[in-house]
Chain A
Amino acid sequence: MPGFFERGDSPDFHELTPERRDELLDKIAQAVVKRNLTAPAVFFLESVKPLSFIGSQVMVFFDPLVRSVFNIKGYNDVRLALEDRGNLELLLLAIEKYDAEWRAKMREEKARRKTKAQ
């Protein structure tokens, strides 16, 4: 069956490059922090860590359907990232990093506003 098993060149079978992975994780982390969702996201990610591979396989299962109905960019990348449990830990660290940065910025802004008012 040509096309069914022989498509080794298809993006479905690519591995995730470290650069692409970092880019993806950064993007997700920033989106989470910007929406004030750090605490819930950390709790959620931390609590589902063991299931990340199963999650990736569920995404494989629904891939033909989901991707034919919705145009989700990066579906495949997220799926590949989930295959490796370590990536969830990296995402957690990225979220905590941006959260610390963001809160430091807020504190500074507050302090500046205070001094201005005086």
Chain B
Amino acid sequence: MGFIRWLANIDRRIIFVVIGLAVAGPLLVPLNLPPVTVTSQARAIYDAVEALPTGSTIVVSFDYDPAAAPEVHPMALAFLRHCFIKKHKVIIMALWPQGAQLAVRAISEISSEFDLKYGVDYVNLGYKPGGAIVINLIGTSFAKAFPSDINQTPLNQLPLMSKVNNLKDVAMVMDLSAGDPGIPAWVMVANALFQRKVAGGTTAVSAPQFFPYLQSGQMMGQLGGMKGAAEYERLVKHPGLGSRGMDSQSVAHAVIIVFIIFANVAYFALRRKTPSGGPAAAGGAPPPAAP
């Protein structure tokens, strides 16, 4: 009985310590669990990039911030790698101010693997505020929204942009999104108004929201969270933080599941003892001391 009561009211700091160990442990000593299974949504993006004729233009929008970087940044690296392996041209832009800065970082992390020429193989247009309006504007004119790139070079000085007037000249859009403005804006404007193929890489927090878009075909594919990043890393055969993190992810999930089981076992055991509902029924564990 004492044990059951303990199970019903585990101190939150015990949970904290266990979670910390569950995450740090596998990073120090990898468990080498089998790789993630690739979902059809990730496969769809990969296949679409594969199917594009060499040299197609792809817009990659960096709409995330450092808070989402562990989830979305590995996707950015994996996706850019895939584009450059297939010799596609990449137009980078950002609807989040931190996104443009993270894009520069992403390019510098992978540039040694490819022979990239700025202005020819890729451009970084930088950031603009305005969200959906910016997408609507590049739907008719990139130069109107982005008179110059992130280094303040006018667009007409960039060979890549001389062939691209607006979204109609772009084969697909990949939005790396951590919230608003992000995937909804791209789907609603670039897909609905300008009929572009839109794919998304997003934090796991927002991924479930976009399943209706996937079902209706408004979005062609999606990478969800660090697991989505691991899937794409597996597809392009270049493991990174996404794959490295999956061991910790597995163990942490298992630990949380065990805690949930504990809570419910204790809840039902105590409820049977006290037919009126028991102490747990009045709202689960008593409020732990605020930290």
Contact = CB atoms under 8 A, between A and B. Distances in A.
Instruction: Report A-B touching, CB under 8 Å.
Output: yes
A93 B290 contact: no
Contacts of B287: 89, 92-93
Contacts of A96: 282-284
A100 interface: yes
B257 to A, nearest CB: 15
A100 B281 CA distance: 8
A99 B290 CA distance: 21
A92 B282 CA distance: 12
A69 to B, nearest CB: 14
A85 interface: yes
Contacts of A93: 283, 287
A97 B282 CA distance: 7
Interface in A35-81: none
A29 B197 CA distance: 43
Contacts of B277: 104
Interface string A86-102: 10010011001101100
A54 to B, nearest CB: 10
Interface residues of A, number: 11
A96 B282 CA distance: 7
In this complex, the interface size class of chain B, counting residues with CB under 8 Å from chain A, is under 10
Interface in B257-291: 277, 281-284, 287, 290
A68 B130 CA distance: 17
B290 A86 contact: yes
A28 B284 CA distance: 20
Contacts of B284: 96
A99 B219 CA distance: 39
A86 B277 CA distance: 28
Nearest to A95: B283
Contacts of B290: 85-86, 89
Contacts of A103: 281
Nearest to A85: B290
A64 to B, nearest CB: 15
Nearest to A86: B290
Nearest to A88: B290
B20 to A, nearest CB: 15
A59 B66 CA distance: 20
Contact of B283 (A85, A89, A100, A104): A100
8 smallest A-B Cβ distances: which pairs? Answer: A96-B283, A100-B282, A89-B290, A93-B287, A86-B290, A100-B283, A89-B287, A99-B283
14 contacts: A85-B290, A86-B290, A89-B290, A92-B287, A93-B283, A96-B282, A96-B283, A96-B284, A99-B283, A100-B281, A100-B282, A100-B283, A103-B281, A104-B277
Given A93-B283, A104-B277, 8 more contacts: A85-B290, A92-B287, A93-B287, A96-B283, A96-B284, A99-B283, A100-B282, A100-B283
